[in-house]
Amino acid sequence: FEPWNDPDAKPLIQFRNVSKRFGEFTAIDNQSFDIYEREFFALLGPSGCGKTTMMRMLAGFETPTEGTILLGGQDIAPIPPNKRAVNMMFQSYALFPHLSVWENIAFGLKRDRRPKDEIDIRVAEMLKLTRLEQFARRKPHQISGGQRQRVALARSLAKAPKLLLLDEPLGALDAKLRQDTQFELMDIQEKTGTTFVIVTHDQEEAMTVASRVAVMDHGRIVQADIPAKIYEQPNSVYVADFIGEVTIIDGTATKADEGYEIDFAEGQPKLYCKTDKQLANGQSAHIAIRPEKVSISAEKPTDRRNILHGKIDDIAYLGNISTYHVKLPNGKIVKAQTANTRRLAHRPFTWEDEVYLSWSDTAGVLLER
């Protein structure tokens, strides 16, 4: 499922040079991108980067200052929010407290004066989809937080929108329930075939649920790709740093073999990255290296080109894995991760141990900015 790579696939949503300004302030900066039918698209970025503004423009609560947003090829600007095939589910859920679960789900259909039979059938479908059949008669205060979340979802899907916008949909749930609910959300999205756009602060959540993740910075999408590519092939230090754990090593690049050598500190060996990228000799560059790609050993490896020597400064034991912070002689910290498959008694390294760090020629990602 990669419609963005299919030249015949028709986008559901098209942003064309869209900017949004509030007075002097540019919240969205000249953005053009597409979202496809059946996609689960995540907008991810730090507070204030413009995620909510993107959603509000899609919902019709804000209008772009410049540019056009198309839905199914049609400019949505003249269409009022309640006439768009778009629905938004808010973090607060905004359920009606005096109405039952059934009535909450039926609300939009009733307002549209749909025939009674149709409403009955549709609400029953939604109750089944969200596993709420047995709670139909209860009021929102008589069900759990997770169930309320599902009512809100059922209600926003009842009118079968083409696009559902989810603003921090799991923000009110605790960590464990949140994880289970992520899988449920993916399941419901797949079953209905509705395009979902989710806004979240939580990068793990975005990576879990989304078919594509768009990482935003100051009103721009800086990279939009499948989660594995965002993680394995970030296009900038910003993206590498925002997603997951990483060590960024800054230096200067010199052409070497099938890639570049990076000189990052006096007295330290040069690091090698095999890459197709083309950089200028002497250009400043960065290596982004994920901790799980860095091996840690007491003996100096003989089969690798990237080898650093340092001292263990910190250890985080996380059950299945341990993360080591290793301090190089110049003070730089490099993170290495090991899988804890052996028993505790065999835990190999401790604080102040002198160790070697090493990684393969292709493990580090060479970045220009």
CB of 46 to ligand ATP, least distance (A): 7
Q: Which residues bind ligand ATP (CB under 6 A)?
A: 22, 25, 27, 45, 47-53, 201
As measured in angstroms, the least distance from the Cβ of 140 to ligand ATP is 24
> Residue 323: which residues within 8 A CB-CB, separation 6 or more?
245, 291, 315, 316, 335, 336, 337
Instruction: Please identify, using beta-carbon distances, which residue of 49 and 157 lies nearer to ligand ATP.
Output: 49
Whole-angstrom distance, CA of residue 354 vs CA of residue 275? 31
Q: How far apart are CA 260 and CA 38, in angstroms?
A: 41
Token pair of 246 as six digits:
């990483």
Q: Are 107 and 155 in contact (CB under 8 A)?
A: yes
HSE value, Cβ hemisphere, 13 Å, CA-based, for 31 = 34
Taking the least distance from each CB to ligand ATP, the nearer of 28 and 288 is 28
Residue 180 Cβ vs ligand ATP, minimum distance, rounded to whole Å: 24
- 5 vs 47 by CB, closer to ligand ATP: 47
Q: How far is the CB of 51 from ligand ATP (least distance, A)?
A: 4
Non-local CB neighbours of 345 within 8 Å, separated by 6+ positions: none
Q: In the bound complex, what is the minimum distance in angstroms from residue 91's beta carbon to ligand ATP?
A: 10
> What angle, rounded to 10 degrees, do the helices at 145-157 and 116-129 form?
140
Give the shortest CB-153-to-ligand ATP separation in angstroms: 20
Whose Cβ is closer to ligand ATP: residue 20's or residue 84's? 20
Comparing CA positions, the residue from 322, 331, 325 lying closest to residue 355 is: 325
Can you tell me whether residue 78 is helix, strand or coil?
coil
Residue nearer to ligand ATP on the CB measure, 44 or 285: 44
Judged by CB, which is closer to ligand ATP: 53, or 358? 53
